[in-house]
Amino acid sequence: MAKIINGKEVSKKVRESVKAETEKLKAQGIVPGLAVVIVGDDPASRVYVNNKKKACAEVGFMSEEYALPAETTQEELLALVDKLNKKPEINGILVQLPLPKHLDEKAVIEAISPEKDVDAFHASNVGKIMIGDYKFLPCTPAGVMKLIHSENIEISGKNCVVIGRSNIVGKPMAMLLLHENGTVTITHSRTKNLAEITRDADILVAAVGKPKFVTGDMVKEGAVVIDVGMDRDENGKLCGDVDFDSVEPKASYITPVPGGVGPMTIAMLMKNTLMAAKIHAGIE
């Protein structure tokens, strides 16, 4: 039976640490500020934005929400980002993705000041992650690393397999494992003999976006399995990319869905925003 890595508990510790540091900053007259921009009325995006605002209140940040109508133009959105870039009390800017189809996500991300890019999606921050000289990390891969470290799991020298090559999770995840001396393989939808590769993994990170995609026969005995997926099964019930029931008996450690990687993402966003506030105040 695998040990369950409890993301709720680990994220709670991260938030408590951020709250304690925020109180120290406030004593010096510094209040971390996060601006969240949401365009349109996507229900999932609304839930995420509400959770981010709630987390800000919990750790003592100032937060501002900019809810724009779905028909907002590219020019209007870029003008708002420019305004927030120049606003001294805002340390972090987060534009909730996905954006409506007529907007250019890449151009919007590139318009955010790298020093306020607390999602770490800007090309400048992505490049820094590649060379291992970064201030901000994308929140989900950073959360995965925190979960692995919380159990003192050794990465150095291990075979690490990442399923998924997105810019948000798969690619940065591979780099973070590589920075800790893991031997990393990135797999994806075009990979041949995928199960053969995953069966060789000491640490397997599933970020493919397909419900219950990773089954027990794809996992070797004693592997550490991290499930980044947030999917719905055939009954509409929340599940991950890993078929928990068949994989859990073989794994040594596993993250559940919900309650695994999910809570870590917002906790790491809070950590990034705190870091941005310290950089802007000249104390980091």
Catalogue the active-site residues.
52, 96, 119
Q: Is 186 left (phi over 0), alpha (psi -120 to 50) or beta?
A: beta
Which residue has tokens 């306020």? 116
**Residues 6 or more apart in contact with residue 258 via CB below 8 angstroms:** 230, 238
Beta strands 33-39 and 92-95: pairing type?
parallel
Q: Is 185 left (phi over 0), alpha (psi -120 to 50) or beta?
A: beta
Residue 52, amino acid: K
Contact at 8 Å (CB) between 108 and 99?
yes
